[in-house]
Structure 1
Amino acid sequence: MKLIIAEKPSVSRNIADALKIKNRQDGFFEGNGYIVTWAFGHLLQLYDAKDYEEKMASWKMENFPFIPQKFQYKVKSNPKNREKPDLGAKKQLNIIHQLMNRNDVDAIISACDFDREGQLIGDSIIYKARPTKPVYRLLLNEWTPQEVLNGLDNLKLNTELRPLQDAGISRQWADWVIGINLTSVATLKYQKGKGKALNIGRVLLPTLKVIYDRDQEIANFKPEDYFKLQATFKTAENETYEATYFEEKEEKFKSKEQLEEIRSQINEKPGVIHNKTVQKKKEFPPFLFNLSNLQGHITSKHNGWTADKVLKVAQSLYENKFITYPRTSSIALEESLVGKTAKVLETHSEDLPYRDEIKFIRSKRVFNNAKVESHSAIIPTYLKPKKLTSDEQVVYQAIKNRFIMQFMPVAEHEETIIETKIKDTSIKGLFIVKGKVQLIEGWKKVEKIQSKDTILPLVHVNDEVDMLKSEITSHVTKPPKQHTEKTLLRMMETAGRNIKQDEEDIEAILSGFSIGTPATRAETIKKLKDVGYISSQGKNLVCTELGKKLVETFPIKNLFSLEFTGRLEKSLFDIEKGKHNKNEFLQMIYSFTTKAVEEIKTDSAGTIHEVTRGRKLNDFMGKCPVCGHAVIEGKKGFGCSNWKNGCKFVIWKNDKFLATMKKKPTKTMVKTLLKNGVVTVKGLTSKQGNKFDAQMRYEKNTENDYFSWKMEFTK
């Protein structure tokens, strides 16, 4: 009898189904020579500091740094009462250990996810019981019946996965030491009042710094004016085209006078076609999804989605056998999967209207071992879902479409560049225009991607053309855009290195030099929001005042460094590959933490966060313009206290109209508005990045009961 331990109940059900086991007991399935049981993710957790030493129950500066002589594990805590163990976890752990000790069990198989965390979950449960029986590892990329049976025929000894276990332990212990010590000491040093701790983490802080840096770039951006010279030309066949003036490959000019001088020389003079180039260009489909690219694609395309939500939905699809392992950094498939992939493609092509255009080919863009790190890219399995939730449909369709695209014809377009020289002038530049015509739609059919054609008239070199008009247009440089979850995930994936989305050379990603892992990045972004360091404004991510103060005050600058954190992640990656020593890594972490604690203790900086518990938000702002009741401040806005009786007057703190001009309503602003009916708001920001002032009114709409802002400008 062989005992299989899965990471979750849903996975154990998949294994039992593959082995045709129908007999379910309390906490396990049994039949056909196998027992299949399960964990609920982590059943064990590291001791809390107070479990090692009683004095650590209270936070005192002199107790830190604290690094245990030997790390120990206990049953995970009840989420509602951390002082007590989770009874469900305790019961299941006992069931697993009893099954391991059964006389008829002669081998133990860990079937937890094939990654750092999965290895840690399985090993912590199994070796807690000090087994004397051989332990094996089931390594799968999907949970379809065929793959489960193949995997059970190709088990590995668990000892062969020791480097993966070392990496998992190193990550867990390092994060515990840094988190417990620096969170405690930072909270004691920089926070006044009792409340949520100042959360300090190895992956949390560099991610926060990325958002802070972008906010600072935007705040410090100084818009500059620039100008372009554009002209409209007419051919002998009376067809027209517009072109832009270029001089030494530059179309933007800081000096309007320079362009006015050029314009005076060329005005309404004829031109001649100086050069014409026509090129056919191929457009390859985007690579297969890894987790970060999938999260970026979905969050940018669909409102209300976060990276964390994408991961949860993808995990559900994986556990239900519909997609391959989602927590991957790879954008290609292993070359050994060629035959299997062809069958998957055939299954998913059956009912597509363009199935005749789908052709399986073994290309290096799709099958390339050099682009695979542990797990291949995410693709559908051969099992077609009969029913999906609306959220599952969004993620599944994106994965399926991206997969199908790889085997559709390459899209092609024709690009035409026409260069026009003005006759009888001494100007150095040329008027240039580009045209584009889609020739082959190819893979773009899959998601009905529309290509915009720019069709130019037929001309030849040395043809003469007439200038109909010319004009100088004014423009303003724009600040960089705020980070979204898509751009932030990309920064984390590449540790800030400028690597293009579809770049062939992805060595930096696959060498482990990154911020976090595909499995943890979404959790990091969510945690930054939960602890109050960043907030969302639509799809944009911005630093809160607390996050900004933390970056500017907290003295351990290495923890904000992409380079430093990227090197730590690279070390964990190398431990996983057997190229770096676990103990050396941990000693470096302990030394770093000890020095950091001492640096914080002697730091002279003041308070970062002052907790004002029980702060009264229902301050009186003024009288409601609708019903005359008091307008008071609430958590999310300034609203009428008569709302229970149907009054809908409210000014939201995250008001979207004001947010477009980088403003939030303040108490003073609301009080003035309610008193006078109008308020002068200073320092609004236009779309071009210019600052301006305006008088604002908040008036009831004629067609409904809601209010809208009206702006007035004073000379």
Structure 2
Amino acid sequence: MGKSLFIAEKPMVARAFAAVFNDNLTKHDGYLEGDKTVVTWCVGHLVTMSYPEVYDPALKKWSMSSLPFIPDNFLYEVIPGVKKQYDIVSRLLTRDDVSRIYVCTDSGREGEYIYRLVRNQAGVHDKDERRVWIDSQTDEEIKRGIREAKPESDYDSLSDAAYLRAREDYLMGINFSRLLTLKYGNQMASFLNSKRQVIAVGRVMTCVLGMVVRREIEIRQFVKTPFYRLLAQTDSDEKNGISFEWKAVKGSKYFNSPLLYKDNGFKQRNDAAELARLISGSDELFHKDLAGCDIELTVTSVHRKDEKKNPPLLYNLAEIQNDASKFFKISPDQTLQIIQSLYEKKLVTYPRTDARVLSSAIAREIDKNIRGLSQLPIFKPFTDQIFASGSYKKIGSTRYTDDKKITDHYAIIPTGQGLGALKGLNATEQRVYETIARRFLAIFYPQAVYKKTSVEAVNGSEHFFSNERYLDKEGYLAVMHYSFFKDKNDATAGNKLPAEIKKGDKIKIRALSIKEGETSPPKRYTSGSMILAMENAGSLIEDDELREQIKSNGIGTSATRAGILEKLVKNKYLSLNKKTQVITPTLTGEMIYYVVGYSIRPMLDPVLTASWEKGLSEVADAKIGEDEYMTKLTAFITKYTDRVKGENNGEVLSKCFNYASQFYKKGSYGGMAREKSTGKNRQGTAEKTQTKETKQ
């Protein structure tokens, strides 16, 4: 029998594989070799799709007549900068003495694509190919992956999806970027006083650009609405005593009144003051708050209950990218790089995962991960408690273990191994590791329990309400005291409701006050919240549990979302504040939004963009075929290419450009800073044009 060749995606991963072999491996240029084993690596992608001019030199010049460009057979070529390593890998793949190939690239769609490109370019035939699928780079997991490696043909559908994803991005990018640049590039360049303007369009990145611009328009056009609430205090000093808030419930004089903004607030202060006057019999409230009054409320109901809060689900890549953006003000791409490094150091499991649960297989052996963490003083009190309670034994029957919610990999968790590498990590890397470890340990702890008391009281036909909430049992929250944060008391009680308060009690009110509030505009995306919005097909859902319930195919994948944001910033279509991680559009980005909106509007639709990703998942699952997907793709590209060729939106786009430019400071054409939004509508023909466009 010949030798076995192991091909990894990166040199460091190859070294991790080589470490498990006892085969006298010696170093060579670009690979390691022993008596029975050869280990080599790619350096990311070695092969890529060829540009149109490779098909026909005439296609190097952009022209409308050459569009749509949809080749019958796609061409591929070796990337010049990595040709040396490609030649090494290609030679090893086709060596006569190599009889079996173990594919050890990243266990996912893109890792599969990297290998298939090299294999096909090298012309590999009649080899026994096996797929190694692992969740971490610990020695045990690597050995298990090799031992359980499946025939590479089992992953043909995944490969089909990978090729289709690349072809889709290629065809949309080349056709629509050339199309819109030829049609409107000069108009944009003239407006921006630049020599040339390429309008780069992508299946995912254009949709993300649209999400950011739409949010900016919503903020820009937002008009603050004031409202006025009536509060009653048992003490004239509002820092003391109990505070009650009035609400217009059934029976109130103001129930369903047009004077209300909501059931607890008036549109006008005078109306709130009139209510206060009716309750107190004082005219002073038209001008100021009233202290020293003597009003009585009668308690009509008292409800006491326990509120239980579960430990959150484990981290997937999107969740940790969001938290790292909030905690450490680092970009999703930086977070991915850090977790990838932790993975390669054997500290955590595979990072590019969408799952937030454990597999039943790992749940059965989870004590190994916990025991490893017990070696670290910062975590030992928690691991001791987990072992003492035996909670780890039952984790397989909880919501934190679910094989049905795992496609490629389970959640990101600490392996409990590689701990020697911790000393070499920088501060941010150590904090990211701590964040992952605490989220992991928390699932073995009980729920946090809050005590909540709700009181309703009346004065005549008007109802007042007071609520108290405080932390009674810390539960899993004991684990969540991060070393890099000052602890905050999680008890949220503001009022001090007497424990003996009961229905029928009379409560003396010593002060009435009117509190002014105002509606808030939508929040701008941060780099982290954008990742979550992409995961949920354009919906930024803050609630952790709700987000998991409605989760479906999102925009892009866990492996690509961070890179998409980076590309938009690099192209100067978006601006990223590194201190706050807040994302805003540039003038160039907003202009492209209008160009696409009037030309190929579906490219801005998150739901439609997510449907393309869902289609790729269906190909990977062998639910639909490659030909069916390509037919729909080519029809879409042809339809919109022909449509754009036959229309001219130059005039309406000029109005949109003029409208947008007033919100940006003059500067470099791609990096024009966004002016601070005033929250007021700006009138004018251009705005009316833009507003109509956003509603279409």
TM tier, smaller: 0.7 to 0.9
- Structure 1 residue 40, shift from structure 2 partner: 0.6
Letter in 1 for 2:625: N
- 1:159 aligns to 2:153 (yes or no): yes
Contact 1:100/1:131 (CA < 8 Å) preserved in 2?
no
The match for 2:456 among 419, 427, 432 is 419
Pick from 7, 17, 25: which aligns with 1:15? 17
Whose strand proportion is higher, 1 or 2? Answer: 1
How far, CA to CA, are the matches of 1:452 and 1:28 in structure 2?
A: 58
* CA distance in structure 1 between the aligned counterparts of 2:49 and 2:177, rounded to whole angstroms: 17
Same amino acid, percent of matched pairs: 29
CA distance in structure 1 between the partners assigned to 2:568 and 2:235 by the alignment: 57
C-alpha displacement at 1:483, in angstroms? 1.4
The partner residue of 1:576 within 607, 620, 631 is: 620
Alignment equivalent of 1:514, drawn from 527, 551, 554 = 554
1:625 corresponds in structure 2 to: none
Contact 1:357 1:409 in 2 (8 A): no
Q: Displacement of 1:384 after TM fit?
A: 3.7
Match of 2:226 in 1: 225
Q: Is 2:510 aligned against 1:468? A: yes
Whole-Å Cα distance in 2 between the matches of residues 98 and 553 of structure 1? 48
Judged with a 3 Å threshold, the aligned counterparts in structure 2 of structure 1 residues 518 and 457 are, in CA distance, closer, same or farther, namely: same
Aligned residue identity for 2:139: P
- Does the 8 A contact of 2:232 with 2:245 survive in 1? yes
Q: CA deviation at 1:442?
A: 2.0
Partner residue in 1 for 2:586: 544
Q: Does 1:176 align with 2:170?
A: yes
| Range with greater deviation from structure 2 (572-581 or 317-326) | 317-326
Aligned with 1:61 (options 51, 59, 64): 64
Structure 1 residue 380 and structure 2 residue 414: aligned?
yes
Task: Compare 517-526 and 162-171 and name the one that shifted more.
Answer: 517-526
Q: Tell me the CA shift for residue 559 of structure 1.
A: 0.8
Q: How does 1:132-531 map to 2 (within 5 A)?
A: 132-192=126-186, 194-195=195-196, 197-233=198-234, 240-248=241-249, 250-267=263-280, 268-303=294-329, 305-350=330-375, 351=377, 352-358=380-386, 359-360=391-392, 361-362=394-395, 363-386=397-420, 387=423, 388-422=425-459, 425=460, 427=461, 429-448=462-481, 450-454=489-493, 455-458=496-499, 459-497=501-539, 501-503=543-545, 506=548, 508-509=550-551, 511=552, 513-531=553-571
Structure-to-structure mapping, 1:82-161, within 5 angstroms: 85-86=80-81, 89-128=82-121, 129-161=123-155
Q: TM-score, normalised by structure 2?
A: 0.83
2:30 is aligned, of 27, 33, 36, to 27
Counterpart for residue 254 of structure 2: none
Cα distance, 1:275 vs. partner?
1.4
Letter in 2 for 1:544: T
> Separation in 2 of the partners of 1:563 and 1:209?
12
Higher relative helix content: 2
| Alignment partners' CA distance in 1, 2:583 and 2:541 | 21
| CA distance 1:499–1:222, shift in 2 (3 Å) | closer
Q: Whole-Å Cα distance in 2 between the matches of residues 26 and 588 of structure 1?
A: 45
Q: Secondary structure at the match of 2:503?
A: coil
Letter in 2 for 1:135: E
Amino acid in structure 1 at the alignment position of 2:407: E
Contact residue 535 and residue 543 of structure 1 kept, 8 A:
yes
Structure 1 stretch displaced more, 472-481 or 23-32: 23-32
- Give, in whole Å, the separation in 2 of the partners of 1:397 and 1:207: 31
* Partner Cα distance (2:318, 2:540) in 1: 16
For 1:507 and 1:401, locate their aligned partners in 2 and report how far apart those are by CA, in whole Å. 23
Report how far residue 507 of structure 1 moved: 6.1
CA RMSD of aligned residues (A): 2.5
- Preserved contact between residue 222 and residue 680 of structure 2 (Cα < 8 Å): no
Q: Whole-Å Cα distance in 2 between the matches of residues 451 and 199 of structure 1?
A: 47
Give the letter aligned to residue 146 of structure 2: L
What's the secondary structure of 2:629's corresponding residue?
helix
CA deviations 1:238-265 (Å, max 9, x no partner) are 9821111112292122243443232123
Distance 1:553 1:542, change over 3 A: same
2: distance between equivalents of 1:456 and 1:42? 64
Structure 2 Cα separation of the partners of residues 601 and 145 of structure 1: 57
CA, structure 1 residues 634+453, in 2 after alignment: closer, same or farther (shift >3 Å)?
Answer: closer
Contact 1:420 1:430 (C-alpha < 8 Å) held by counterparts: yes
- Per-residue CA distance 1:398-431 (angstroms, 9 max, x = gap): 1111101111232111011122222xx3x2x321
Q: 2:328 & 2:120 partners in 1: Cα distance? A: 44
Matched residues in 2 for 1:172 and 1:109: separation? Answer: 24
Aligned-pair CA distance for 1:635:
6.3
Aligned equivalent of 1:589: 633
Q: Is the 8 A contact 2:185 2:197 kept in 1?
A: no
In structure 1, the gaps of 5 or more residues are: 77-84, 610-632, 637-651, 664-683, 693-715
Contact 2:93–2:124, Cα closer than 8 Å, also in 1: no
Q: Is 1:533 equivalent to 2:535 in the alignment? A: no
- Equivalent pairs, count: 606
Report what 1:5 is aligned to. Answer: 7
Q: Does 1:48 align with 2:42?
A: no
**Amino acid aligned to 1:436:** R
Residue 688 of structure 2 aligns with which residue?
none
Contact 2:301 2:455 (C-alpha < 8 Å) held by counterparts: yes
Q: TM-score, normalised by structure 1?
A: 0.81
Q: Which has the higher contact order (CA 8 A, sep 6+)?
A: 2
Conserved 8 A contact 2:371-2:383: no
Question: Are the equivalent residues in 2 in contact too, given 1:164–1:576 (CA < 8 A)?
Answer: yes
Q: Structure 1 CA distance, aligned partners of 2:479 and 2:264?
A: 36
C-alpha change, 1:506 and 1:691, in structure 2 (3 Å) is closer
Contact 2:52 2:60 in 1 (8 A): yes
CA distance in 1, matches of 2:178, 2:324: 37
Tell me the distance in 2 between the aligned counterparts of 1:335 and 1:506: 19
In the TM superposition, what is the alpha-carbon distance from 1:500 to its structure 2 partner? 5.5
Distance 1:100 1:467 in 2: 85
Aligned partner letter, 1:314: I
Contact in 1 for aligned 2:346/2:418 (Cα 8 Å) = no
- 1:447 deviates by 2.8
Report if aligned partners of 1:109, 1:135 keep a CA contact under 8 Å in 2: yes
Counterpart contact for 2:184–2:595, Cα < 8 Å: no
Deviates more, 1:496-505 or 1:89-98: 496-505
Corresponding residue of 1:628:
none
- Report the Cα offset of residue 356 of structure 1: 3.8
Shift, 1:690, TM fit: 6.9
SS of the counterpart of 1:191? Answer: helix
d(CA) in 2 for partners of 1:301, 1:293: 12
